[in-house]
Amino acid sequence: MIRKSLLSVLGLTGASAAHADWALNMPKGITELSAETYDLHMMVFWWCVAIGIVVFGVMIFSLFKHRKSVGAEPASFSHSTTAEVLWTAIPCVILLIMAVPAAETMIRLEDSRDPDVSIVVTGYQWKWHYKYQDEGVEFYSSLALPSVEARPKQSGVDPFSVENYLLEVDRPLVVPRGKKVRLLMTSNDVNHAWYVPELAIKKDAIPGIINEAWFRAEETGTFRGQCAELCGKDHGYMPIVVEVVEADAYQAWVDTRKAGDAQVAQMEK
């Protein structure tokens, strides 16, 4: 809470009750690694605040005390080896303190071995395609109809009247809670990026390349994100929705999807 209000003071915004939903900071997310990422972010942020207080403090003091209008006489010194060695060495130490935990998190982020569920994510201009490798389920996921109707210029629809405007899809990605989910990202046309802040995942989907990312969601719920790499005119209109459900609900969903797909296949025959 203190952190939040400090941030809002920095932003000159004031965290009044009316604006309680103004998100000021990175979400802590729902995975171990998203929490670690958040902690790293806050650690570096607080170091920056501390350094800022010292540097700006000295500078502001100087601005008031060492001005000609209060009769300050200029000194003539132009170097001090001690000071220069100190302010080269101290930042090095601070950087080292930051670098160690950052490297540890980085190593864990890259360890996508032994997943429970593997999903191939393919970017298209301008929608996503998901293919569950072992379950044999696949589908496209596009911007949901209410947003599609509201988005054109002069659509006459107020974006505020659309629930989750531009952040809703027709078919969300469904994943089980507590299981290691590996995403294999690629693209069918241009570069895209799959970005869900609560999962702390942002990975480019690039044609001809398969990238890996992974997460283990610790909470159930609906989590939203967007394409984060400019991919053409509808770059702003290919959201991502991830639904985290309990393992049995997930299995039920897979079964329904399979049955539905079989039905569609039957009808197409």
Residues within window 54-113 making contact with other proteins, judged by CB under 8 A: 55-56, 58-59, 62-63, 66-69, 72-80, 83-84, 87-88, 91-92, 95, 98-99, 102-103, 105-107, 109-110
Question: Nearest distance from residue 76's CB to other proteins, in Å?
Answer: 7
Using the rule CB under 8 A, is 209 a contact of other proteins?
Answer: yes
Residues with Cβ within 8 Å of 119's Cβ and at least 6 positions away in sequence, in order, are 130, 131, 132, 133, 173, 175, 181, 182, 183, 184
Using the rule CB under 8 A, is 241 a contact of other proteins?
Answer: no
Question: Nearest distance from residue 251's CB to other proteins, in Å?
Answer: 30
Question: Nearest distance from residue 131's CB to other proteins, in Å?
Answer: 19
Among candidates 167, 267, 182, which has minimal Cα distance to 217?
Answer: 182
Token reading at 161: 């009247």
Residue 52 or 260: the one with the smaller Cβ distance to other proteins is: 52
Residue 63 or 252: the one with the smaller Cβ distance to other proteins is: 63
One-letter amino acid for residue 158 of the chain:
D
Q: Distances in Å between the alpha carbon of 260 and those of 63, 105, 221, 257, 267?
A: 72, 41, 24, 5, 11
Token reading at 152: 């054109």
Cβ atoms of 177 and 217 within 8 Å: the answer is yes
Among candidates 240, 216, 215, 210, which has minimal Cα distance to 227?
Answer: 240
How many residues touch other proteins (CB under 8 A)?
A: 104
Residue 155 or 251: the one with the smaller Cβ distance to other proteins is: 155
**What is the distance between the alpha carbons of residues 118 and 221, in angstroms, rounded to a whole number?**
20
By CB under 8 A, the residues from 10 to 49 that bind other proteins are 10-13, 19, 21-27, 33, 36-37, 40-41, 44-45, 47-48
Residue 73: beta bridge partners?
A: none
By CB under 8 A, the residues from 144 to 203 that bind other proteins are 150-155, 157-160, 164-167, 185, 189-191, 193, 195, 197, 200-203
Q: Which of 120, 124, 236, 249 binds other proteins (CB under 8 A)?
A: 236
Residue 191 or 220: the one with the smaller Cβ distance to other proteins is: 191
Question: Nearest distance from residue 256's CB to other proteins, in Å?
Answer: 29
Question: Nearest distance from residue 151's CB to other proteins, in Å?
Answer: 6
One-letter amino acid for residue 28 of the chain:
K
Question: Nearest distance from residue 2's CB to other proteins, in Å?
Answer: 17
**What is the distance between the alpha carbons of residues 225 and 197, in angstroms, rounded to a whole number?**
6
With left for phi above 0 and alpha for psi between -120 and 50, is residue 92 left, alpha or beta? alpha
Question: Nearest distance from residue 157's CB to other proteins, in Å?
Answer: 8
Cis preceding-peptide flag for 126 (omega within 30 of 0): yes
Using the rule CB under 8 A, is 1 a contact of other proteins?
Answer: no
Using the rule CB under 8 A, is 120 a contact of other proteins?
Answer: no
